[in-house]
Amino acid sequence: MTTRGSGWILFAAIVLGVAGVMRIFDSIWAFTYHGVLPENLEGAVFGHSLKTYGWVWLVVAVLYIVSAYAVLGGSEIGRWLGVVVAGLGGVAAMFWAPYYPVWALIYVGLGILVMYALLVYGGPDVDEMDEPVAPSHAATR
């Protein structure tokens, strides 16, 4: 990778991949936890079952990891999937802000940096794009 912004793209892919692995650990924890559940889990978005959260985190992990590999492969679909997943991850981190404010802000910051990397440097290089063809004089007569 010697193109413009290749370091940013590598950074974005690594952050997406690590976030995916972390969500896998979250899903393993949710599937195997048999302790006391918090009282306020009853009114949570996905209900009171940790198994449901385990499946949600597993799907999110797959999305993170697929987008990381697609970004490394230079896929335009992977770029946009990475932007969406990083944005959703940053928004989801805000729900943890009352409990873990520093980590939530770090997670939001990483999401913003990943979105920046993919939006600014994830597209085709300007140098590699075809030059526009000038109109011929015969077409203007």
Q: Which two tokens stand for residue 47?
A: 């209900």
What is the predicted pLDDT for the residue at 6? Answer: 86
Helices vs strands, H then E, count in the chain: 5, 0
17 located within any domain: yes
77 located within any domain: yes
Total structural domains within the chain: 1
The answer to whether the CB of 27 falls within 8 A of the CB of 64 is: no
42 located within any domain: no
pTM to 2 decimal places = 0.80
What is the predicted pLDDT for the residue at 63? Answer: 95
DSSP string over 70-88: HHHTT-HHHHHHHHHHHHH
pLDDT (tens, 9 = 90+) of the chain, 141 residues, equals 457 788 999 999 999 999 999 999 999 998 998 777 666 666 666 666 788 888 989 999 999 999 999 999 988 999 999 999 999 999 988 888 888 889 999 999 999 999 999 999 887 764 554 455 555 665 555
Query: Which residue type, as a one-letter code, is found at position 103?
Result: W
What is the predicted pLDDT for the residue at 41? Answer: 60
Burial class from Cβ neighbours inside 10 Å (0-12, 13-18, 19+) for residue 75 reads middle
Residues 6+ apart with CB under 8 A from 28: 54
Q: Where are the alpha helices (DSSP H) in 33-127?
A: 50-72, 76-94, 101-121
141 located within any domain: no
Query: Which residue type, as a one-letter code, is found at position 68?
Result: A
130 located within any domain: no
The answer to whether the CB of 130 falls within 8 A of the CB of 137 is: no
What is the predicted pLDDT for the residue at 126? Answer: 46
What is the predicted pLDDT for the residue at 62? Answer: 96
What is the predicted pLDDT for the residue at 115? Answer: 95
137 located within any domain: no
What is the predicted pLDDT for the residue at 48? Answer: 67
Domain region containing 81: 6-34+47-124
